[in-house]
């Protein structure tokens, strides 16, 4: 009986995760290309299967960490703003999608979420992928996947001031499961990690938010460290 329950739960998670129920809401890939703010938090998806998400966004001088926390007593989406990319928390917003509209967005000095910790460490953990392995989340393409591709010198393409790296579906080489971009220009740094889908058994699972890292013209130290490491490895 226990074995049947485990199998049923696994199948249920797969169904919910893959959006077969028709109720899953996926964010537009373009949403992360513009600076996130408190008004846009309501545009982010709410997980139906309690999976959390973490996003590092760094555009020009500002860096944001966005957290979808769906395992606590109340579902919430958190925006942590670091206005000068110096690992200082300048503002925190928490959006509660299940609350009445006149009381669903609050500004705080620090987040109430147990998923939030030191932001310097969080930035590095989102890039490395460690944050996904130690929390209940979708499987996101991260630094380890990118390093494997560079070490094999496989599916890497020079593009403008950096490199694009593709992860193709082994069962269909014309389909891209994930992609990366890293580069530097005029003392600024570019780093992007996108997961279009991954496979669980015979199902394709699409993360609610495809980007885990979106950094353009960034001066953030964590982004700089990662890009410098990648460029050095690629151009050795």
Whether the predicted pLDDT of 161 surpasses 80? yes
Structure tokens at 37: 């703010």
Q: Is 137 a member of any domain?
A: yes
Query: Can you say how many angstroms the Cα of residue 112 is from the centroid of all Cα atoms in its chain?
Result: 20
Whether the predicted pLDDT of 120 surpasses 90? yes
What percentage of the chain reaches a pLDDT higher than 90? Answer: 81
Q: Is 4 a member of any domain?
A: no
Q: Is 1 a member of any domain?
A: no
pLDDT in tens, 41-87: 999 999 999 999 999 999 999 999 999 999 988 999 999 999 999 99
CA angle 128, 156, 58 (to 5 degrees): 40
What pLDDT does residue 27 have?
65
More confident residue, 21 or 131: 131
pLDDT in tens, 172-196: 989 999 999 999 999 999 999 999 9
Q: Is 7 a member of any domain?
A: no
Give the separation between CA 186 and CA 180, rounded to whole angstroms. Answer: 20
Q: Is 131 a member of any domain?
A: yes
Q: What is the pTM of this model?
A: 0.88
What percentage of the chain reaches a pLDDT higher than 70? Answer: 88
Which CA distances in Å does 28 have to 38, 101, 228? Answer: 17, 23, 29
Close Cβ partners of 153 (under 8 Å, ≥ 6 residues apart): none
Task: Output the DSSP codes for 11-24.
Answer: HHHHHHHTTTTS--
Q: Is 90 a member of any domain?
A: yes
What pLDDT does residue 1 have?
43
Structure tokens at 207: 């993360």
Give the separation between CA 56 and CA 191, rounded to whole angstroms. Answer: 10
Mean pLDDT of the chain: 89
What pLDDT does residue 23 have?
37
Whether the predicted pLDDT of 170 surpasses 60? yes
Domain that holds residue 166: 24-234
Give the separation between CA 55 and CA 148, rounded to whole angstroms. Answer: 22
Give the separation between CA 202 and CA 190, rounded to whole angstroms. Answer: 34
What is the total count of domains within the chain?
1
Q: Is 77 a member of any domain?
A: yes
pLDDT range class, residue 95, cuts 50, 70, 90: very high
Q: Is 154 a member of any domain?
A: yes
Alpha-helical regions (H) of the chain: 2-17, 119-128, 130-133, 143-152, 221-234
């Amino acid at each position: 009986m226990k074995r049947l329950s485990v199998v049923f739960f696994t199948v249920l998670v797969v169904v919910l995760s893959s959006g077969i129920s028709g109720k899953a809401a996926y964010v537009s890939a373009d949403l992360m290309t513009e600076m996130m703010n408190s008004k846009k938090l309501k545009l982010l998806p709410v997980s139906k299967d309690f999976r959390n998400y973490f996003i590092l966004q760094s555009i020009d001088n500002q860096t944001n960490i966005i957290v979808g926390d769906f395992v606590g007593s109340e579902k919430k989406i958190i925006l942590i703003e670091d206005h000068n990319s110096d690992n200082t928390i300048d503002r925190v917003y928490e959006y509660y999608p299940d609350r009445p509209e006149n009381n669903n967005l609050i500004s705080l000095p620090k987040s109430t979420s147990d998923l939030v910790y030191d932001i310097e460490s969080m930035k590095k953990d989102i890039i490395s992928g460690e944050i996904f392995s130690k929390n209940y989340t979708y499987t996101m393409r991260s630094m380890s996947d990118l390093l494997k591709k560079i070490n094999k010198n496989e599916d890497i393409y020079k593009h403008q001031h950096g490199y694009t790296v593709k992860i193709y579906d082994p069962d269909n080489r014309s389909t891209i499961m994930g992609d990366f971009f890293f580069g530097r220009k005029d003392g600024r740094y570019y780093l992007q990690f996108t997961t279009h889908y991954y496979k669980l058994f015979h199902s394709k699972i699409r993360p609610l938010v495809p980007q885990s890292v979106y950094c353009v013209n960034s001066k953030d130290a964590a982004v700089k460290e990662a890009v410098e490491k990648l460029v050095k490895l690629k151009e050795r």
